[in-house]
Structure 1
Amino acid sequence: MKKSLLVAALVALAVSACGQKEESATTNAVEAAKEAANAATEAAKEAATAAGDAASDAATAAKEEAAAAADTASEAAADAKEAAGEAMEATKEGASDMAEAATEKAEAAADAAGDAAADAKDAAEAAVEAAKQDAAEAVDAAKEAVEQK
């Protein structure tokens, strides 16, 4: 845009210089060229300011979007950490419940083994008593048989 205004100013200067030989025409052309150059400079300054503002706005928007994305990622990580903690706690509780159940089963098995041992002892004592009684009866029968002969 700046170059086109300068070219237009130079063309206007050349046309006015060729068309009129008077010094006032040259002065007018120089003044017109100066005004065109000043207008082009102002337009370039405004364009640069607008471009700077647009770049600043874009950087601010990108920064805000990045901050929002970081917040979202941070929240997701916190949620994942919490879920992992809950899963770990549930696993601990499940393992604790299983260990407690296994302990109860082992205690029940030990009690059952103790009861079985007591029953076996009682049965053995009964068998010993029965054997003693049978032996005593056999001895008595043998004595009678010996006496009768």
Structure 2
Amino acid sequence: MKGVKTVSALLFTGALLAALSGCEKEEGPAEKAGEEIDKAMQEAGEEADKTMDKVGEQIEQTGEDIQEAAKDDDN
């Protein structure tokens, strides 16, 4: 009798897990909007990084130009 209860409990648990795994939660409009915001923020961050890299390169080049001009003035 104890073995029948154990087997029944295992079968019930297995059936319950199979049923629950088949139920996928659909995304609602708020979750979709949140994902779009996350994507937009990620893209904006990447663009800001690119812009800052370009600005840094320009500042570095300007510094080199100033140093070169200062050397020319010393001669």
In structure 2, the partner of 1:134 is 62
Look up the equivalent residue of 1:114 and give its one-letter code: Q
After TM superposition, the score normalised by the length of structure 1 is 0.32
In structure 2, the partner of 1:114 is 42
For the residues of structure 2 that align with 1:115 and 1:146, how far apart are their CA atoms? 47
How many residues were matched structurally? 51
Q: Does 1:104 align with 2:32?
A: yes
Q: What stretches of structure 1 move > 2 A for 4+ residues in a row?
A: none
Q: Does 1:145 align with 2:73?
A: yes
Identity of paired residues, percent? Answer: 20
Deviation, structure 1 residue 121: 0.4
Structure 1: stretches of 5+ with no match in the other structure = 1-95
Look up the equivalent residue of 2:46 and give its one-letter code: A
Deviation, structure 1 residue 100: 1.1
Written as runs of structure 1 = structure 2, the 5 A alignment for 1:1-149 is 100-147=28-75
Structure with more relative contact order (C-alpha pairs < 8 Å, separation 6 or more): 1
After TM superposition, the score normalised by the length of structure 2 is 0.62
For the residues of structure 1 that align with 2:74 and 2:63, how far apart are their CA atoms? 16
Deviation, structure 1 residue 133: 0.5
Relative to total residues, which structure has the larger helix share, 1 or 2?
Answer: 1
**Which structure has the larger Rg?**
1
For the residues of structure 1 that align with 2:53 and 2:36, how far apart are their CA atoms? 25
Q: Deviations over 1:82-134 (max 9, x none)?
A: xxxxxxxxxxxxxx88x611111100100000011001100110010000000
